[in-house]
C-alpha cells in the first residue's frame, strides 16, 4: 500500500482509493515528491502510480500470482518499481510543460 493511495481487487472489479487529505498535505511539505504541485497535478501523479498497479497487465498478473496461497510475496522494490517509474515520468512531463510555459512568458 502507498501513502497516498491503494488498489483493491476482486476477480470482477478493481478499486483505486485516493487519500485526498494526504495528497493535499503532500503538496505543502518540502522534500516530498508532490511539493510545489497543485492539488490536481498531485492527483494526476498519484493516479498514474495507482493505475499501473490496477491496470498494467504484466503488473496485475504478477501481483495476482504472488498473492495466491503458497506463493512468495513480492518485494516492495519489485512491486513498486514500474508504478514509481511511470509516476516519475509524469512529473518530468509536468515540469517540462511548466518550463516551456515560463520560457514563452519571457519572450
Ligand atoms: Zn504503489
64 CA from centroid of ligand 1 (Å) = 15
Kindly report the pTM of this predicted structure. Answer: 0.89
Grid cell locating 18:
485516493
Judged against a pLDDT cut of 80, whether residue 1 lies above it is answered with no
Domain ranges of the chain: 5-106
Q: pLDDT by residue (tens digit) across 55-73?
A: 999 999 999 999 999 999 8
Q: pLDDT by residue (tens digit) across 35-51?
A: 999 999 999 999 999 99
24 CA from centroid of ligand 1 (Å) = 18
76 CA from centroid of ligand 1 (Å) = 9
Task: Give residue 44's pLDDT.
Answer: 97
5 CA from centroid of ligand 1 (Å) = 8
100 CA from centroid of ligand 1 (Å) = 29
Distance CA 54, CA 43 (A): 16
Amino acid at each position: 500500500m502507498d501513502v497516498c493511495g491503494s488498489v483493491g481487487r476482486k476477480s470482477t472489479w478493481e478499486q483505486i482509493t485516493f487519500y485526498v487529505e494526504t495528497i493535499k498535505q503532500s503538496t505543502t511539505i518540502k522534500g516530498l515528491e508532490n511539493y510545489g504541485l497543485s492539488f490536481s497535478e498531485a492527483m494526476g501523479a498519484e493516479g498514474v502510480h495507482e493505475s499501473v498497479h490496477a491496470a498494467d497487465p504484466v503488473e496485475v498478473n504478477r501481483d495476482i500470482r504472488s498473492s495466491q496461497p503458497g506463493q512468495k510475496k513480492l518485494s516492495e522494490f519489485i512491486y513498486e518499481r514500474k508504478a514509481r517509474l511511470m509516476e516519475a515520468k509524469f512529473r518530468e512531463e509536468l515540469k517540462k510543460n511548466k518550463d516551456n510555459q515560463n520560457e514563452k512568458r519571457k519572450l
